[in-house]
Amino acid sequence: QQWTTAQRYRPYSAYSTKLVTKLQRQQQDSIWHLGYHIQPASGLLNDPNGFTYYNHQWHVFYQNFPFGPVHGLKSWVHLTSPDLTHWTADGLKIYPDTKYESHGAYSGSALAVGSDLFLMYTGNVRDENWQRHPYQLGATLDQNGTLHKLAQPLIGDIPAGYTDHFRDPQLIEHEGTYYAFIGARKQDDTAHILAYQAPDPKGPWTLKGELHYSDQNLGYMVECPNLIFIDQQPVLIFCPQGLSQTIASYDNIYPNMYIVGEAFDWDTLSFINPTGPQNLDGGFDVYATQAFNAPDDQAYAISWLGLPDTTYPSDAENWQGCFSLVKHLTLVAGQLRQQAVAQGLAKAAFDPKTADLQLQEKLQFDFPNFPKGQLQIKAQHSSDKLTLSFDAQTHSLTVDRGQMGQPVALDHGTIRSIQLPATALRLTLWLDHSAFELYVNDGAQVVSGRLFPRQADTYQLDTSQLAADDFEVSGTRLQ
């Protein structure tokens, strides 16, 4: 089905509850329905928003177009969790129902302020000439879960010299002052993150300047900026668009990158001795990652497993997108480490060398020396397989999803490779029906992606093509 612009921006009231129920059932009944990852109740899920801790619970929202597998009129759907693993859906929370968000309640963030959760996000407006007018909006969620939108935008104007690509505010607090970091495209087509300051999240907000995190030109636009701190060191997680491959190479249509600084100067909003940008994930689908520092200062991130301007096989079933697991972020010798937070998912241990896989397991491999050859997760009743190959010469690991069911984003290739140290290797592979997350060496690197097997099936681990010294593999079934 082709979606015209007019169809994408029809008001929510134009859709019947009967249709929504049908779309929800289609998602539920899909063979690609995920077992333990966040997915849309219906339609398209994209960015994580408002990921935070408030009122004794973890909160996250997803960008949603509930009526089909396309980027249409966006809203926010709310979920809560006691443990960052088990999420309860609380339904659509921010409707695009004011004149400041007539074409979508776009991405933003949340921060507990007083007894409320304060939400700051971008209202997307298009005029009759389809010209964009972004507004940075505020809302509070009270302890009863009721949303109150502020009547006026927090930031209504685009600063001089910048374009209408001005969105995705990250709200944080530092020493009693509030900061909003907003992705922006300058009129000279360079990418920036603008920093605003306010004594109170309700305002008044004043422009402080650009965030300084690189001396290089990192493309024309930044989406979804996040400044977090790990052991006092600043870490920027962001989505640069138009980034030159000579600065950092990447295989996806748009990368999700990170930069680590030795320290942060709040007066000049500068990273001291920043690294260059590096891929946050070496896989196929991570984008729009949202990260924040919890009240105990620990840093957590969650990603959209999906890319802009990309179609997915599940579009045929009218839905698209899911989230990654929550990842706990630490720095080890200045390098980012991402570890899956997945408390209480373990159901039973099993031996993956002999037992079947249902694609709802965690497999862990420990290689005392760097292996050679390949291992596969093979379907029993079709030729579908996911292949991990190891090159002992170049110390690289390649993940190939090209034989695993229906193709995805073929223009960007079916394999991804990462370089590894020439040492022992630990792999933790999370499988969830239509998604995998591979954590390498306890999260020193992560390779994630979506998979669309042809049919419901059982799978087997095949290590017959692997040359490895007495390695260990263990399995855990997940609920």
Q: Contact at 8 Å (CB) between 115 and 54?
A: no
Query: What binding mask, one character per residue, do residues 136-175 give for ligand FRU by CB under 6 A, x or -?
Result: -------------------------------xx-------
Position 308 contacts ligand FRU (CB under 6 A): yes
Query: Nearest distance from residue 166's CB to ligand FRU, in Å?
Result: 10
Q: Please, which residue, 31 or 70, has the CB nearer to ligand FRU?
A: 70
Residue count (the chain) = 479
Q: Please, which residue, 107 or 387, has the CB nearer to ligand FRU?
A: 107
User: Hey, how many other C-beta atoms are within 10 angstroms of the C-beta on 139?
Assistant: 22
Position 47 contacts ligand FRU (CB under 6 A): yes
Q: Please, which residue, 123 or 261, has the CB nearer to ligand FRU?
A: 123
185: tokens are 């495209």
436: tokens are 């995998």
CA distance 103 to 95: 11
CA count, 13 A, side-chain hemisphere, 22: 9
Position 74 contacts ligand FRU (CB under 6 A): yes
CA distance 195 to 179: 7
Q: Which of 80, 52, 48 is nearest to 64 (CA)?
A: 48
CA distance 327 to 338: 6
Q: Please, which residue, 93 or 337, has the CB nearer to ligand FRU?
A: 93
At residue 109's C-alpha, the angle toward residues 263 and 260, to 5°, is 20
- With CB under 6 A as the contact rule, the residue among 36, 61, 106, 367 that binds ligand FRU is 106
CA distance 323 to 87: 12
* H or E element at residue 22: helix 17-29
Query: Nearest distance from residue 421's CB to ligand FRU, in Å?
Result: 33
Q: Which of 409, 372, 472 is nearest to 254 (CA)?
A: 409
Sequence-separated (6 or more) residues with CB below 8 Å from residue 342: 36, 85, 325, 362, 430, 478
Q: Please, which residue, 107 or 226, has the CB nearer to ligand FRU?
A: 107
- With CB under 6 A as the contact rule, the residue among 158, 288, 379, 386 that binds ligand FRU is 288
Q: Is 47 a catalytic residue?
A: yes
**Interacting residues with ligand FRU between 398 and 457 (CB under 6 A):** none
Query: Nearest distance from residue 315's CB to ligand FRU, in Å?
Result: 16
DSSP string computed for 356-396: -B-S-EEEEEEESS--EEEEEEEESSSS-EEEEEEETTTTE
Query: Nearest distance from residue 307's CB to ligand FRU, in Å?
Result: 8
Query: What binding mask, one character per residue, do residues 205-244 give for ligand FRU by CB under 6 A, x or -?
Result: ------------------xx--------------------
Query: Nearest distance from residue 138's CB to ligand FRU, in Å?
Result: 16
Q: Please, which residue, 48 or 405, has the CB nearer to ligand FRU?
A: 48
Query: Nearest distance from residue 356's CB to ligand FRU, in Å?
Result: 37
Q: Return the exposure string of 289-316: e unless at least 16 CB atoms fall within 10 Å of the residue's CB, then b.
A: bbbbbeeeeebbbbbbbbbbebebbbee
Position 103 contacts ligand FRU (CB under 6 A): no
Phi, psi (degrees; rounded to nearest 5) at 307: -125, 150
Query: Nearest distance from residue 153's CB to ligand FRU, in Å?
Result: 15
Q: Please, which residue, 36 or 118, has the CB nearer to ligand FRU?
A: 118
Q: Please, which residue, 70 or 444, has the CB nearer to ligand FRU?
A: 70
Query: Nearest distance from residue 239's CB to ligand FRU, in Å?
Result: 7
Task: Give the strand order in the sheet containing 105-113.
Answer: 105-113, 116-123, 135-141, 147-149
- With CB under 6 A as the contact rule, the residue among 107, 279, 293, 314 that binds ligand FRU is 107
The active-site residue out of 29, 47, 432, 462 is 47
Position 290 contacts ligand FRU (CB under 6 A): no
- With CB under 6 A as the contact rule, the residue among 52, 63, 318, 428 that binds ligand FRU is 63
Position 46 contacts ligand FRU (CB under 6 A): yes
CA distance 129 to 118: 33
CA distance 356 to 381: 12
Phi, psi (degrees; rounded to nearest 5) at 320: -160, 140
User: Hey, how many other C-beta atoms are within 10 angstroms of the C-beta on 386?
Assistant: 25
Position 337 contacts ligand FRU (CB under 6 A): no
Catalytic residue numbers read 47
Contacting residues toward ligand FRU, per CB under 6 A: 46-47, 63, 74, 106-107, 122, 167-168, 223-224, 288, 308
